Chain A
Amino acid sequence: MHLIKQLMAIPGVIAAGEFAYRGDRFSYEGALTSEFARMAAILCRSNTMSVNMQSEIFNSFAENCGCRPAQGWIVRGANASVCNVGNYFAFIENRPELLNDVMTILRAKVGDIGDDLLVNLYAKIGGDVKEALY
Chain B
Amino acid sequence: MNIEQLMGLPGALAAFTYTDKGDLKDHRIREGTEITSQVLDLLAHSCVANMAVATLEARGWEALTGQKGFEPLQGFSMIGLEWSAVVNGNCGVVVKNRDVDYEITFNAIQSCQA
Contact = CB atoms under 8 A, between A and B. Distances in A.
Interface stretch (A2-10, A16-24, A64-72, A122-130): A64-72
Contacts, number: 126
B54 A51 contact: no
B35 A76 contact: no
A76 B46 contact: no
Which size bracket describes the interface of A in this complex?
A: 35 or more
B38 to A, nearest CB: 5
B72 to A, nearest CB: 6
Contacts of B69: 77-80, 93-94
Nearest to A98: B103
Interface in B94-111: 97, 101-103, 106
B81 A68 contact: yes
B114 interface: no
A69 B73 contact: no
Nearest to B88: A76
A94 B35 CA distance: 31
B74 A78 contact: yes
Given A76-B73, A107-B97, A97 B103 contact: yes
A58 B43 contact: yes
Interface of A: 36, 39, 43, 47, 50-51, 54-55, 57-58, 61-80, 82, 85, 93-94, 96-97, 99-100, 103, 107, 112
Interface of B: 33-36, 38-39, 42-43, 46, 50, 53-54, 57-58, 61, 64-65, 67-83, 88, 97, 101-103, 106
4 shortest interchain CB distances as A-B pairs = A66-B82, A77-B70, A67-B80, A79-B69
8 contacts: A66-B81, A70-B78, A76-B75, A78-B70, A94-B69, A96-B103, A100-B103, A107-B97
